[in-house]
Amino acid sequence: MTGSLLEGRYELGPRIARGGTATVYRAVDTRLERTVAVKLMHPHLAEDPAAADRFVREARAAARLSHPHVVSVLDQGHAADGVPYLVMEHVEGSTLRDLLRRRGALTPREALEVMEAALDGLAAAHRAGLVHRDVKPENVLIAAGGRVTVADFGLTRAVDQHTASGTVLGTVGYASPELVTGQRVDTRADVYSAGIVLFELLCGRRPFEGTPLAVARAHAEGRVPDLRSVDPGVPGALARLVARATARDPEDRPADAREMLEQLRAVRAVLHPGELDRTPAPRPRTGGPAPQATGTDSAGTGTPAPRSARTEVLDRHPDAGGSPAPGGTRTGTLGRQQAPTQTLRRHLAPTEALRPAVAATEALPAPRPAGSTDPWRPAIELRPVRPLRTAAHLALAALAVAAAAFLGWLIGTGPGGTVSVPEVRGTGAELAQQYLAGAGLRNVAVHETPDPAAPAGTVIGTDPAASATVRPAEQVVLLVSSGPEQVTAPDVVGMSAEDAAARLGDADLAAGQRTAVTDDAAAGTVVGQHPEAGTDVAAGSAVDLAVSRGPRAESAPDVVGRPVEEAVQVLEEAGFTARVEESFGAPFGYVLSQTTDGAEVVLTVL
């Protein structure tokens, strides 16, 4: 898509990010000559009219927000092939995820400054009646000047439209229990996600790590651990703020981002400078690779800054102290970090050199020269060098290493390896694709099929089936329920009740409740049906019938002296409507007199 021109205005540049629903490109608005970010929906998702309509609706909802801590939605349109796209403000900088990769964890002061800005933006969305549903570090952008903005309102829903759909949207690493279990969600789901983000900012890891399915179950069934169990030095007021925001029951959380923001500011006010600027505890090393983040659906609008070089600048500070070592070497502090300040510009801007403090060790003694002790023999013997032979050896070694690496990839995680298809039945299609991607299966197709029991949009199986062994490049087909099979209700008005029942059976339907009504049609003739003819209904469902009992008699039958229930039944069978008027409380329940008024008979009951 790079180089394409959308609707004669937006020229697409390099890709910035790719998520589960869309790809984001850096682009140029040729009309206003400014840089923007264009979020283009994936073509295979745009083929679903419901998904495309939701994308457009949510773009319009996000465009209502105008706030300094929310990435602005500027325009919306459709590409030449009909795929919808959004045009958003382009934020030159990096994401909060990039900062966490560089730092591992932030000081309480820095974490609170980031979350204060993010919650301020979320509060604006909540005031507008919107819920973000995908709050995570990838969607918090930090501009070069330090401004923090919340991006990617692509999963936003109006609060009054939230219902349990059986489909989990958003990244499971930060999803609230009610979102994971498919229950109704509101602003408190964003509060939960913000609490998880604050947890990660303070200790450098999320409370739950593992496979997407395991993380989702942990959010749904477990409780977020106490922050001090990970880092005992975290101030108690800060740990309690995280605990309130991540409470399993939404009723125990702050009602919205505004309330959490007020609590955050109150906590910061009671912390003294030593607590705000404390160095986070280092993450323990287990000897293996660090756990990978469970959420990968990022579609932010910022341009990530390049990774900083691994080589550290060795600065000798005037106040480092230390006496000269032999040979003029001086010990000191290597790359010492400056003291924290109050501004994000100095601490969190992506261009800031964020280096850990490293204590210097004493200078090592100079190595003794190796070689012979004979004073007449040189310490180093010079031998002729053959450049071509050396280059050939190096080339062969490099080829051998590359071949071994390729072979390991091929039979490991590459096309030559195999993986097991995870169990995804009962989830929504989008969450199932996240699970499959987490297992290394990205070639996924979706096939809808009717199912009499599973709600529409629910995954009912895969092909190959769960636990089957496949290669990562093989295609896995998600079988998604489209709901019960739909049939058209036939027209049975005018048929006899028996013929109508047979006709409904031929259409894979059943005759439901039969109601006798007075009609000029012959007795036993169907004179009405519900649902009406031509309506699409679920296969196997029932159609209620109104059956004629024949025309009304010319005169009402005499029911004086009969019990009231019996009298009413006799009149209705004759095609008349009975209206009962009680006399003296009707202690005996017998008809004392009757008066006919057209089709209505008034009964006086004693």
Distance CA 14, CA 477 (A): 31
pLDDT at 511 over 80: yes
pLDDT given at position 414: 53
Could you give the count of Cα atoms lying within 13 Å of 557 in the half-sphere of its Cβ?
17
What are residue 514's DSSP bridge partners?
545
| Average pLDDT score over residue span 246-261 | 96
pLDDT at 117 over 90: yes
Q: Per-residue pLDDT tens for 301-358?
A: 443 333 333 333 333 333 333 333 333 333 333 233 333 334 455 544 443 433 333 3
pLDDT at 44 over 60: yes
Distance CA 379, CA 605 (A): 132
Distance CA 476, CA 424 (A): 12
pLDDT given at position 549: 78
Cα dist. 371→207, 364, 378, 385 in Å?
A: 57, 21, 8, 20
Beta-sheet strand order (sheet of 140-143): 93-95, 140-143, 148-150
| Average pLDDT score over residue span 568-589 | 79
| Average pLDDT score over residue span 387-404 | 75
pLDDT given at position 269: 94
Distance CA 152, CA 65 (A): 12
Mean residue pLDDT across the chain = 77
When pLDDT is cut at 50, 70 and 90, the band that residue 197 belongs to is very high
User: At residue 358, what are phi and psi to the nearest 5 degrees?
Assistant: -125, 120
For β-strands 526-530 and 542-548, DSSP reports them as antiparallel
Is residue 573 within 8 A of residue 549, CB to CB? The reply is yes
pLDDT given at position 246: 96
pLDDT given at position 199: 96
CB-based contacts of 179, cutoff 8 Å, min separation 6: 133, 168, 169, 170, 185, 189
pLDDT at 413 over 70: no
Looking at the chain, the whole-number percentage of residues with pLDDT higher than 70 is: 76
Is residue 119 within 8 A of residue 255, CB to CB? The reply is no
When pLDDT is cut at 50, 70 and 90, the band that residue 118 belongs to is very high
Is residue 559 within 8 A of residue 574, CB to CB? The reply is no
Distance CA 402, CA 191 (A): 48
The arrangement of secondary structure in 93-276, i.e. its CATH architecture, is Orthogonal Bundle (1.10)
| Average pLDDT score over residue span 400-426 | 72
| Average pLDDT score over residue span 495-504 | 91
pLDDT given at position 577: 82
When pLDDT is cut at 50, 70 and 90, the band that residue 450 belongs to is confident
Is residue 578 within 8 A of residue 603, CB to CB? The reply is yes
Q: Per-residue pLDDT tens for 457-485?
A: 889 899 888 888 888 888 888 898 887 88
- Sign of the CA dihedral running 395, 396, 401, 404: positive
Cα dist. 541→360, 488, 505 in Å?
A: 79, 11, 10
Q: Which of 45-49, 315-319, 422-426, 551-555 has the highest mean pLDDT?
A: 422-426
pLDDT given at position 326: 36
Distance CA 113, CA 268 (A): 10
When pLDDT is cut at 50, 70 and 90, the band that residue 368 belongs to is very low
Query: Strand, helix or coil at 577?
Result: strand
Cα dist. 221→29, 176, 226, 426 in Å?
A: 47, 11, 16, 17
Is residue 212 within 8 A of residue 435, CB to CB? The reply is yes
Distance CA 349, CA 347 (A): 6
CB-based contacts of 354, cutoff 8 Å, min separation 6: 99, 102, 103, 308, 337, 347
Distance CA 277, CA 109 (A): 6
pLDDT at 410 over 60: no
* Alpha helical stretches, state H, 185-298: 187-203, 212-221, 227-230, 236-245, 257-270, 273-276
Burial label for 513, CB within 10 Å (0-12, 13-18, 19+), is exposed
Closest alpha carbon to 228 in 210, 203, 211 = 203
Q: Per-residue pLDDT tens for 553-573?
A: 667 888 888 898 888 888 887
Amino acid, single-letter form, for residue 599 = A
Q: Which of 97-111, 279-293, 396-410, 561-575 has the highest mean pLDDT?
A: 97-111
Higher pLDDT among residues 283 and 456, named by residue:
456
User: What residue ranges do the domains of the chain occupy?
Assistant: 5-89, 93-276, 422-481, 486-548, 564-605
User: At residue 159, what are phi and psi to the nearest 5 degrees?
Assistant: -60, -40
- Write the CATH number of the domain with boundaries 422-481: 3.30.10.20
* Chain centroid offset of residue 193 CA: 10
DSSP 136-188: SGGGEEEETTS-EEE---TT-EEGGG----S---S-GGG--HHHHTT----HH
What are residue 418's DSSP bridge partners?
none
Least confident of 28-32, 73-77, 123-127, 450-454: 450-454
pLDDT at 295 over 60: no
Least confident of 70-84, 113-127, 286-300: 286-300
- Write the CATH number of the domain with boundaries 486-548: 3.30.10.20
Q: Quote the CATH superfamily of domain 5-89.
A: Phosphorylase Kinase; domain 1 (3.30.200.20)
Show which residues are catalytic: 134
Angle at 133 between CA 127 and CA 137, to 5 degrees: 105
Amino acid, single-letter form, for residue 34 = R
| Average pLDDT score over residue span 16-28 | 85
Is residue 335 within 8 A of residue 358, CB to CB? The reply is yes
| Average pLDDT score over residue span 142-166 | 64
Query: Strand, helix or coil at 447?
Result: strand
Is residue 260 within 8 A of residue 192, CB to CB? The reply is no
Confirm whether 93-276 and 486-548 share one CATH topology: no
| Average pLDDT score over residue span 497-509 | 90
pLDDT at 522 over 60: yes
pLDDT given at position 519: 79
Tokens of 499: 């013929």
| Average pLDDT score over residue span 258-282 | 92
